[in-house]
Chain A
């Protein structure tokens, strides 16, 4: 028999009211503004945009405020919002080579055209808490320096000149870029779809996988060829005009990870590359993504799948934190009927078990 139950409306309404209260916190303190979140918690905003797979700083900040700073909840909110909007189309591919660079470093070449530009980085800070931030102390304006106008060349183009590095990844001529938000996942998955999945994947999950490849779970010997962060133009081909117009600029972070490769039956010794690209200033994410991208390319290089980071189905199926949290968190919702059934089953199994045990014991005793 199945008994449907209802109830809890008042409890739910009051729980949400209490949630709103706790979110707001002490009314004596001013409420956070969206502008403050965008300006002062910008990297949290960036992470929400990257993993929600939706670029909109204001909405990401709103989501963060509404979610009380819970990143995955904020990502979930933004993902839910995007499903309410029609899609106008697809942009032309952004050209990271023409980026208005705000940071660019290479670990492989000291002197490279355009130089090492540190930008706004946590690197080289001492990781000491700064009590000055307890008060609203004035912050210095950034230093300025004239530029010599040298184009900031892509590091992969430097190595490419010698033929020592694989070229940018190409797909077969007739391949149309797939879209995981439109078609269900199928394995094996082409690299373009893997990159889309990784770009929206959970930063923590990808970081752990990337770390595992460095610790020996999958063969890699990586160098950061280049990390660049800055503004790129988004251009959109407008059907009614017959030409592409610019929609504005977005900030992205790109990582070119260069890996030594000894060569195999399929490819000669060379440097191979893993690629990472993420919305916003999301360096850890872009780096992790590039390591995992490279690890997953076992098929192209004839490598054996021996580690989790190389297992396409495992990585692709588990890197989305909205899916993951949905399945894990649903366990706390009422399962009363399922559990009653299990309870009944376990009782019966125990009774049967006990019934079987008893004669056994008797026999054993008899034998002794």
Chain B
């Protein structure tokens, strides 16, 4: 059993949506094309681009303050079996938000969940982990190793 099915429906869905927000447009398009039975669907909202005000915390951990906005695109779809999917992601790519919403809807059906997991979620998770590791190792190479210089005689 995969991770998403073991966890509660809510955390499983959150994990899926979190990962879909990181999917690239080509990844989403490819998975959509690879789907045998692309379901009929209607848009309930969007796809549309808007703003989300990003908050920081005073001193890093204190009271919230408004740092500045970011562009966000989102979409909500209803697929043939009635499931409703939401897609939210940074940036202005509305098609990617629409595809993410479709996969969020599909991931709610037992029939399509394994496909979404295999074709998208697992891959994005792997790529993300690799990217993070690469960045971490690049940064670690710039870590300062201090040498203690002994001065004078004892």
Contacts and interface: CB of A to CB of B under 8 A. Distances in A.
Interface of A: 49-50, 52-56, 58-59, 82, 85-97, 100-103, 110-111, 115-121, 142-147, 154, 156, 167-171, 175, 177-181, 191-193, 195-196, 199-200, 231, 234, 236, 238, 240-241, 243-250, 252, 254, 256, 273, 275, 277, 279
Given A142-B141, A238-B88, A55 B69 contact: yes
B132 interface: yes
A171 B65 CA distance: 10
Contacts of B56: 93-94, 96, 195, 199, 252, 277
A275 B90 contact: no
A200 to B, nearest CB: 6
Interface size class of B (residues with CB under 8 A): 35 or more
B6 interface: no
Interface in B123-154: 132, 134-144, 146
Given A58-B91, A90-B66, A247-B72, 4 more contacts: A121-B142, A144-B138, A156-B59, A249-B22
Given A87-B51, A117-B140, A177-B65, A58 B92 contact: yes
Contacts of A181: 66, 69
12 contacts: A87-B52, A88-B51, A89-B52, A91-B54, A117-B142, A177-B63, A179-B53, A192-B65, A241-B86, A247-B90, A248-B91, A252-B56
B7 interface: no
A203 to B, nearest CB: 14
Nearest to A191: B58
Interface of B: 10, 13-14, 17-18, 21-22, 48-72, 74, 76, 86, 88-92, 132, 134-144, 146
B144 A256 contact: no
Contacts of B59: 156, 167-169, 256, 273, 275
Contact of A192 (B60, B66, B72, B146): B66
B50 A119 contact: no
Contact of B57 (A55, A86, A168, A193): A168
Contacts of B143: 115-118, 145
A171 B18 CA distance: 31
Contacts of B63: 169-171, 175, 177, 192
Contacts of B74: 88
B21 A100 contact: no
Contacts of A94: 54-57, 67
Given A58-B91, A88-B72, A156-B59, A145 B51 contact: no
A266 B14 CA distance: 46
Contacts of B132: 100
Given A102-B139, A192-B65, A85 B71 contact: yes
Contacts of A92: 55
A50 B56 CA distance: 14
Contact of A196 (B21, B65, B89): B65
Contact of B70 (A54, A110, A179): A54
Contacts of B72: 88, 236, 247
B90 A248 contact: yes
Contact of B10 (A50, A56, A196, A243): A243
Contacts of A175: 63
A249 B90 CA distance: 8
Nearest to B19: A246
Contacts of A58: 91-92
A86 B50 contact: yes
B71 A55 contact: yes
